[in-house]
Structure 1
Amino acid sequence: MHPTTTSTFLRRSLVAACATTAAVALAACSSGGAAAPASGLTPVSVGFIAATAGFAPELTIQNDPGMCAPYGVAPTMQIVSPQTSGPALAAGKIQVMRHSSGAMLTSAYQNRSAMKIVASVSSPPYNVWGTKDIKSVADLRGKTVGVTAAGSTGDLAMRQLLAEQGMEAGKDVKITYGGDATAVLGLAASNAIQGFLFPPPLPEVASRAGVHELANVAEYRTVTPTLATVIAAAEPFASQHQPAVKGLLQCLQAAIKLTLAKDPKVVQALAKAEGKSVDTAKKEIDAIAAPTAFQLGPFTTDDAKDVMHALESANVQKFDGFDPADAIDTSLAPAN
C-alpha cells in the first residue's frame, strides 16, 4: 500500500475507533452509568409498629427513602402490628424491625437463630396517664390499665411501674391488650381502661375525655430501661448483608439527628403519616425531642439480661437455656 494511502487509512481507522469508543462511553453513561449508584443499592424491608412521634425517624425515611442512598440501601418502610412483628421477622417477611426489647428477645427465644438484635434506641419521654377519676398512680389499684401487647415496651414498663408502687399486674391491677397505640387511646377515651403509658403530648381524642398526666416515667428508676426499643435483623439477611444493615443504621441515625433538630422534614413526615396539621405534628416533635431520646447504640448482653429478668419476674416470658449473646451482634451499631 502507498505510504500516503496507508497514512490515510490509519487516520480513518483511528477516527472510527475513537468514534466507536465515544459512542460506547456515551451509551454507557446514558443507559447505565448515571443509574449505577441506584442499581447498586441493597433493597431492605423495614418494619416499625406505629405512625407516632416515637417513630418519627422511620416516618422521615418512609417519606424520603432516597435519603438512605448515600448509605447503600433502598429501604421500604412499613408499619407492622406489635403482635405479628416478631413472627414476621422470624419468617423473613420483613428484614429489619424496630420494636420493644422485650418483644424482640421473646421472639429470639422462640425462634432460635432466626434473627440478630443489632442496636438499641433509647426512648423519648413517657408519661403515665389516667382517666378523669384517677388522681395518682396509686389510684390504679383495683382498676384496669392498657398496653399494646404482651411483652411490649408498654407492657414491661407498666408492670415495673406498678411493682414500684407495690402493686402486681394481673392481681392488683388488670391489664388489657389493645393491639396498638390508637386502640389503647380509644380504650382510655371510653374509660374502658383507667391508666396507660404514652409519650407526650396526649392526643385530643383522649384529652377531651378528661385523660390527664399522672406522672413522668423518669421518676421511676426501674422503668426507664425497659422503654428502650431494639432493632433486629432477620437471618440470614443479617449475616449475608452486613454492609446493608450497617448502612441502614447509619441512615436511621441521620434521621434521628433530623428529629432531634426538629427539622421541618420530620414534622411534615409525621403530619402526613398521622393525618394531622403541621402545627400539631410540630408540638409532638417538640415534646419528644429530648437530648436523651433516640440514642442509637449497641444492645449488650447485660442489657438483654436485665430485660429478660424483668420479663421473667413479671411472669410474661421464661428464657430457659437461652443465652442472649447468641441473638446479639454488637459490631454493626454506631457507638453511643
Structure 2
Amino acid sequence: MAGLLAIAACSSGEGGKASGLTPISYAYLNNGIGFLPELMIKANPALCAPFGIEPEITLLSATTATPAVSAGKVQAGRVATGAALVNASKDPESLKLVASILGVPFYLFVPKSITSPEQLRGQKLTFPAPGGIAELLVRAYLDEQGVAVGKDVTATYSGSAGASVGLAASGAVQGLVWNQDLPAPAVRAGFHRLTQLGGSERLDAIGSNAIIVHTPFLKDNRPAVAGMLECMRKAISLAQAEPLKAAGILAAAQGISKEAAAAQIAASPPSNTSTVWQFSSLQPASAKLVISALEKAKVQQFGDFDPSRVIDNSLVETR
C-alpha cells in the first residue's frame, strides 16, 4: 500500500507542471525480458519527453496491478488480458483496454522422457497461480490435443514462478510453463521444451497482454495516453536495435551479469523478429476467446458481459 501511495504522490502533477510534461504512473509486472520495454523507460524516463509525458514506471504484482489501475491509484499499465477483463467486467466504468501486445512467447517444459501431449496423462503440472496466463495457455493447448487438465492431468499451484522451477527440479511435477530459457535446476533435472504455447488465434489471444488505463484519466488526458503508447514503441525499437544497451538495463533490473542478460536477449524472439511487443487493437472476438478460457477454467463466469464496452482502440487505430 505504501508503494501505491507513493505512486499517487508522484502522479499529483507538480513535477509535470514545472516541466510542461504530463505525469503518468504506469505499472508493470516483473523484471523479466517480457517487460524489457518498460525497463528501458524506467531506466531513462526522459525517453518519453518528446511525447509530452513524464512517466513513473512502477513494479506491481500481477494480483495488485489491475485493481490499482481500476481504482485510479495507478493511471495505466500492462497486464495479462485475462486479468484486465476480469476486473473490467466487475466495474466496466473503471478502466479501458487501449491496446493489445503479443509479448515474448511461453513454452511448456516437461521431462525428456515425455515427447507428446498424450504422454502427460496421469502427470502433474505446476502453475504459479490459479487462472493465470500459464494455466490458461496449457489448458487451451492440451484441450486442442484431446487432453483435459483436471481430468487427465493434475494441476498444482506453486505460488511463484521460482517455486515452480523448484518443484520441477525435485521431480514433484512433470510440467511447467516458462517464457525464456529454463533455469539451470530444471535443466539439470532433464526438462526440455515440449512446445510453444502460441501460433493459433486462441492461444495468442490468451497469451496476450493489454495496456489498460484508468477511465477518468483517459477521458481527461488522451494525448498523454497516446504519448505513452508512442514512448513504448520507441522503447521497443531501442531494445531491438541496441541489444547491448538493453542487456545492461536488463542485468541491472535482475541483478545478474550483462553476459547473462545478453544471453537472455539472444535466445529470445525479440532479437530476431519484429512481431514481438508490437501493438495492435484488441478485437472483441479475441477478448471473447480469453473470456471463454477463463470461464472454462472456472476463474469467473462473465454472464452477459460485453467486452466491447471496455475496449477503446481509437488510439491505436488512428495512429
Q: TM-score, normalised by structure 1?
A: 0.82
Kept after mapping to 2: 8 A contact 1:123/1:229: yes
Kept after mapping to 1: 8 A contact 2:102/2:204: no
Give 1:293's aligned residue.
276
| SS of 2:186 mapped into structure 1 | helix
Q: 1:65 to 1:192 in 2, by over 3 A?
A: farther
Q: 1:132 to 1:36 in 2, by over 3 A?
A: closer
Distance 2:202 2:121 in 1: 19
Kept after mapping to 2: 8 A contact 1:164/1:220: no
Give 1:320's aligned residue.
303
Give 2:194's aligned residue.
214
Give the AA of the match of 1:321.
D
Distance 1:178 1:238 in 2: 36
Q: 1:146 to 1:75 in 2, by over 3 A?
A: farther
Alignment deviations for residues 68-103 of structure 1 (CA, whole Å, 9 cap, x no partner): 111112212222211222222222222212111111
Q: 1:300 to 1:209 in 2, by over 3 A?
A: same
| SS of 2:56 mapped into structure 1 | strand
Distance 2:87 2:133 in 1: 14
Give 1:252's aligned residue.
232
Distance 1:168 1:51 in 2: 32
Give 1:31's aligned residue.
none
Give the AA of the match of 2:211.
I
Report deviation, 1:271. Answer: 1.0
Structure 2 stretches of 5 or more lacking a match? 1-14
| SS of 1:292 mapped into structure 2 | coil
Kept after mapping to 1: 8 A contact 2:25/2:75: yes
Q: Which moved more, 1:210-219 or 1:88-97?
A: 210-219
| SS of 2:66 mapped into structure 1 | helix
Give the AA of the match of 2:196.
N
| SS of 2:314 mapped into structure 1 | coil
1:332 correspondence with 2:315: yes
Q: Which moved more, 1:108-117 or 1:255-264?
A: 255-264
Give the AA of the match of 1:235.
T
Q: TM-score, normalised by structure 2?
A: 0.86
| SS of 2:316 mapped into structure 1 | coil
Kept after mapping to 2: 8 A contact 1:297/1:335: no
Q: 1:239 to 1:185 in 2, by over 3 A?
A: farther
Kept after mapping to 2: 8 A contact 1:124/1:292: no
Alignment deviations for residues 21-62 of structure 1 (CA, whole Å, 9 cap, x no partner): xxxxxxxxxxxxxx9996222222211111111111111111
Q: 1:46 to 1:177 in 2, by over 3 A?
A: farther
1:106 correspondence with 2:86: yes
Give 1:305's aligned residue.
288
Residue number among 131, 145, 149 corresponding to 1:151 in the alignment: 131
How many residues are matched?
302
Distance 1:296 1:133 in 2: 38
Q: 1:107 to 1:236 in 2, by over 3 A?
A: same
Give 2:61's aligned residue.
81
Kept after mapping to 2: 8 A contact 1:47/1:78: yes
Distance 1:245 1:145 in 2: 39
Distance 2:155 2:201 in 1: 21
Report deviation, 1:232. Answer: 0.6
Q: 1:99 to 1:193 in 2, by over 3 A?
A: farther
Superposed counterparts of 1:139-178, under 5 Å: 139-178=119-158
